[in-house]
Structure 1
């Protein structure tokens, strides 16, 4: 296609498919000041979409978020089409039809006979290759991915995905359109899951793996990730919100498209729950139950009081040891300072990517006296402890009472390599690093897209810098050593930056394309 700067202007945008995503895209387009032609094979769906969008604008007027004049102007930009040929004069046509490859290819072939040669054909696909969709077209260079997120007006991100044949000026126009819509445009390559869905693999799959190992329950993992990790929502609450029918399909699809990449491996638990129709909120039961009053979260186990006893703290990690010793002193419990603990001592270990058993054995300690404490994110908002398979019950009770002395919530785990937060964060960072290594997107784009698209407190590379790349690498190496699972093999991006002592956000000076 010709490289013409006049192509940067847009007069009319077409949207095909008036489901949830199509309605949202049409609303956003009109709010951006662009005329938008709405079409659906079912004429009633188009009329309902206009009514739905108009109602939303009216509510914004009532809440003072939009003026009456703005509402009327937006409404005048919505153009109902009765035939696909009504899109003939559109500068860009965005398809938001059902997620079926043959349907999308057929639609684009039909559109090629209607629209002009300079019209951009954009797909909102979330799972198919843009290149494969474009392969059915006579002009594949005009096809690009514009992946919006639900709800479209509120999720301030659009993934812009050029296929292998997409022309440079088409990419430029797509980036301009995204900017006009007021959304962050995350340019990414045409790979499975693109950027955001790819980056999100660790959050759910690693949580399911922890459950599968019998380390703890879904509610405990969610509490740890929210309280200790600072995430808006835990992985199991999120799976219930999205619906397991959707989430499981995405997990399976990305895993298979990457030819069984272990980092993206799903869990058999979701297939079983899918068969049982435990989909989440939509079926009123998933990992949680949902009643008339909302989600039913099981109460946290009560923590019983225990008499103070001597406490010995491992000195392997001096910063972690200092934090625990300060806690012990504030609680008023006696602190042992010797190189080895007495037989009566409660022994506190601070493993990084190890389980309590291995940590105790490596230090030559009696595992019956030992509990492991996760100091990875500090000890302020929630404290996680882990027992060995033979930790004495009185020792475990004493550890719980000590950690809870000031009222801070405490989560107790069965022995697990890497606790919960450590391994979850390490896997999130590792997949983000691998996305950067594969040049799927620029480091800054990866972080911003994940923050906007997934709601993480920090993007994966910034998250790694926050906790320390060296500590994340240690966790991954210990996980892989303990399990033998290539799922935990560290990305070369991570290894190299730790070796060089630089931030994980440090790119290699390559041109990834300008990000808006």
Structure 2
């Protein structure tokens, strides 16, 4: 697997944000780079923009002035497509339109030498389809960067049906030589990231639609308990609802209406209203000057209990007991089914059932369920759902217990798998199906989700950490609660659980 030599000429077509970013990455790696755009003067303007960005880095002491000058010297605007004839690699980053991209590749095939690799930065179109009209489709592959390309580490290397393995391997090695974190994937709708990430948005949107919690609270739970950098509502506001909704619709349609990827009517309403998020000034949140960001809902302060009883093993939440003990609460340990008893209240980690359902099934009174956390020793907020028979004293007991450990408590409507557990289970489920269908390896998928969308842990590594059986149980309960194919567990999850195996090792 050999990367392109630094002397190899790179061409980038499309001088928008992505094209300019890719050109900058290649120039910083030492390649001579030609940037072409059909809009007169656009390539030169993009290079000037790169110069300004690099200038700011020089002023901040993050880049040597000589290096900046060397990078800029390697960048040049191309006046015509024919000027790209001697390129070793041409990357297109133009409009997401199949026919327009096909026509471009047909022209490039006639212009560029037989050894030139033709790559597409498409985020959603089939590489197989893009190359289908060419005489040599084997030299076409996907080279999908994430925005902003100079900053984001991930690059998806996408193999179409006809892509030559040597071409794919060369792109992988080249991306790595450019300082990126490449992953292999095949040409399926959404590739890795735009497919596997769908549940992150979809489950929060569904919880909002069902009235389980408000935007600020659901976002806070994904951040403060789940360890995600942003919640689904603030992230879609940042991405733009026009963009995020279009990707969801594209993946949904490409999978023939599989309800696992069903778009949200709530998000459609925002798009129809022109409330695209930050760029329009309003989305789920108001970004007007002086607008106040709503705070997450928290239960009021309550008294700290002196003693609790812990029955059995709390599994993934075992660190919570240590944290309670460190807060000065006496812990009495007994055998049992993984419960915490504080006064008359019973607290348990969600297994995917609603609190009312589990209370009925197990004959428990005053039952409260708490949510999954990335790290119970550090989480600053947890979602809790209360069974129907819980009174004010139960709420106060649970709130006082968790608050004593420095954890804010957000009460959500009694919903299957709460917030973080539901989201993580669905992310792991989609990632498992991607492995099962050969879209990518478990290690590449986890790397893609961490490097491409900044997840705190790869979904499959997370499944390993809490137990594949825990994820499978949560999904089984979700599917039973809703009666929908949307929550069907991946065959691979069930297979690994039955064999006692993990995704990694």
TM-score (norm 1): 0.89
1:301 & 1:444 partners in 2: Cα distance? 37
- What's the secondary structure of 1:38's corresponding residue? strand
1:173 & 1:318 partners in 2: Cα distance? 48
1:27 & 1:20 partners in 2: Cα distance? 11
1:341 & 1:143 partners in 2: Cα distance? 58
Instruction: Give yes or no for contact 2:310–2:340 (8 Å, CA) kept in 1.
Output: no
Q: Residue by residue, what CA displacement relative to the aligned partner does 1:94-123 show, whole Å, maximum 9, x if unpaired?
A: 111111111111111122222222221111
Instruction: Give yes or no for contact 1:376–1:467 (8 Å, CA) kept in 2.
Output: no
- What's the secondary structure of 2:404's corresponding residue? coil
1:398 & 1:280 partners in 2: Cα distance? 39
Q: 2:300 aligns with which of 287, 290, 304?
A: 304
Residue 155 in structure 1 maps to residue 168 in structure 2 = no
Give the equivalent residue in structure 2 for 1:509.
none
Residue 189 in structure 1 maps to residue 186 in structure 2 = yes
Q: CA deviation at 1:198?
A: 1.1
1:168 & 1:328 partners in 2: Cα distance? 56
Instruction: Give yes or no for contact 2:259–2:486 (8 Å, CA) kept in 1.
Output: yes
Taking the TM superposition and a 5 Å limit, the aligned residue runs for 1:47-126 are: 47-126=44-123
- What's the secondary structure of 1:422's corresponding residue? helix
Give the equivalent residue in structure 1 for 2:457.
458
Between 481-490 and 187-196, report the one with greater CA deviation. 481-490
- CA pair 87-480 structure 1, distance change in 2 beyond 3 A: same
- What's the secondary structure of 2:41's corresponding residue? helix
Q: Residue by residue, what CA displacement relative to the aligned partner does 1:487-510 show, whole Å, maximum 9, x if unpaired?
A: 22221222222222222125xxxx
Unaligned runs of 5+ in 2: none
Instruction: Give yes or no for contact 1:313–1:321 (8 Å, CA) kept in 2.
Output: no
Q: Residue by residue, what CA displacement relative to the aligned partner does 1:227-257 show, whole Å, maximum 9, x if unpaired?
A: 1111111111111110000000001111111
- CA pair 310-334 structure 1, distance change in 2 beyond 3 A: farther
Give the equivalent residue in structure 2 for 1:219.
216
Q: 1:260 aligns with which of 247, 252, 257?
A: 257
- What's the secondary structure of 2:142's corresponding residue? strand
Q: CA deviation at 1:144?
A: 1.1
- What's the secondary structure of 2:123's corresponding residue? coil
Q: Residue by residue, what CA displacement relative to the aligned partner does 1:246-302 show, whole Å, maximum 9, x if unpaired?
A: 000001111111112232222221111211222111111111111336x74312345
Give the equivalent residue in structure 1 for 2:490.
491
- What's the secondary structure of 1:151's corresponding residue? coil
- CA pair 180-318 structure 1, distance change in 2 beyond 3 A: closer
Q: Residue by residue, what CA displacement relative to the aligned partner does 1:159-188 show, whole Å, maximum 9, x if unpaired?
A: 111211122332233223212322122111
2:24 & 2:207 partners in 1: Cα distance? 41
Residue 130 in structure 1 maps to residue 127 in structure 2 = yes
Instruction: Give yes or no for contact 2:141–2:159 (8 Å, CA) kept in 1.
Output: yes
Between 118-127 and 397-406, report the one with greater CA deviation. 397-406
Instruction: Give yes or no for contact 2:433–2:491 (8 Å, CA) kept in 1.
Output: yes
RMSD between aligned residues: 3.1
Taking the TM superposition and a 5 Å limit, the aligned residue runs for 1:358-377 are: 358-366=357-365, 369-374=366-371, 377=374
Q: How many residues align?
A: 500
Q: CA deviation at 1:314?
A: 8.5
- CA pair 7-22 structure 1, distance change in 2 beyond 3 A: closer
- What's the secondary structure of 1:186's corresponding residue? strand
- CA pair 324-341 structure 1, distance change in 2 beyond 3 A: closer
1:227 & 1:281 partners in 2: Cα distance? 22
Q: CA deviation at 1:323?
A: 5.0
Taking the TM superposition and a 5 Å limit, the aligned residue runs for 1:20-35 are: 20-35=17-32
Residue 446 in structure 1 maps to residue 438 in structure 2 = no
Give the equivalent residue in structure 1 for 2:387.
388
Give the equivalent residue in structure 1 for 2:431.
432
- What's the secondary structure of 2:287's corresponding residue? strand
Q: Residue by residue, what CA displacement relative to the aligned partner does 1:68-102 show, whole Å, maximum 9, x if unpaired?
A: 22122111111211111111111111111111111
1:143 & 1:17 partners in 2: Cα distance? 17
Give the equivalent residue in structure 2 for 1:512.
none
Q: CA deviation at 1:376?
A: 5.5
Give the equivalent residue in structure 1 for 2:503.
504
1:287 & 1:85 partners in 2: Cα distance? 47
- What's the secondary structure of 2:118's corresponding residue? strand
Residue 38 in structure 1 maps to residue 35 in structure 2 = yes
Q: CA deviation at 1:388?
A: 2.9
Instruction: Give yes or no for contact 1:308–1:334 (8 Å, CA) kept in 2.
Output: no
